[in-house]
Amino acid sequence: MKQRLFLTLLLGIGLVFLFIGIKTLSSSLAASKWSVTSGIITQSEIIRSSGSEQSVYLPRISYVYWVKDTKYIGSRIAFGLDFFNFGLSNSYKKSSLFTARYQKETIIKVFYDPASPGNSVLVVGLTKYSISSLIFGSGIVLFSIWMFLLLWLTTIRIDDSNWMRQGSAINI
């Protein structure tokens, strides 16, 4: 019974990550069809926060861009990056890859939603940022289903062996 509860919980967690992955991937693919404008990086730094066990390093990138003479400020690098941070949280080196690519005062290409110009992103399409939670969630879901099947098959074998013992006792 405890195994079923644990596997149900694990399956639920996997489904949540799978849902987030599907939403992230669809947002990233939809953004590749958004309008494009030029922007300028206004902030590019690595933020360090000390946790209970280790330091956490995250890139903080901000940029400005203009749509029809209106100035907007954005900070999203890629869909999914803000949710998982892709292993950046404990790696200064990985975070510095972003700050090196998006240095302050660099002119960049900004994708923005024409229906809501304040919604913007720098990296679009199928990227490791947009599919990581999809892969992670799929793995958890598949593992949970496999474990449910093993548990079910084990239960059937136990029931079959009990039936066989009962049947042989009757025939004697």
Report the pLDDT value the prediction gives residue 36, as an integer from 0 to 100: 98
| pLDDT value at 110 more than 60 | yes
Distances in whole angstroms, Cα of residue 40 to Cα of each of 53, 73, 103, 108, 131: 36, 10, 9, 6, 27
State how far Cα 5 lies from the chain centre: 25
Asked if the model's pLDDT at residue 172 lies above 90, the reply is no
Instruction: Give yes or no for residue 159 having a pLDDT over 90.
Output: no
For residues 132-151, average pLDDT: 87
Q: What is the pLDDT of residue 148?
A: 86
Q: Rounded to the nearest 10 degrees, how much is the dihedral formed by the CA atoms of 79, 83, 86, 87?
A: 160
Reply yes or no on whether the pLDDT at 78 is more than 80.
Answer: yes
Mean pLDDT over the full length of the chain = 83
pLDDT at 103: 95
**Mean of pLDDT values over 39-63:** 85
What is the average per-residue pLDDT within 93-107? 90
* Domain definitions of the chain by residue range: 1-32+125-160, 34-124
Average pLDDT score over residue span 158-169: 55
pLDDT, average across residues 102-125? 96
pLDDT at 164: 54
- Tell whether the model's pLDDT for residue 169 goes beyond 60: no
Here the tokens at position 99 are 């700050």
pTM summary value: 0.74
> What's the pLDDT tens digit per position in 12-50?
988 988 898 899 889 999 999 999 999 999 999 998 877
Q: What pLDDT, on the 0 to 100 scale, is given for residue 24? A: 87
- Give residue 79's pLDDT: 86
- CB–CB of 125/28 below 8 Å? yes
Q: pLDDT at position 163, please?
A: 53
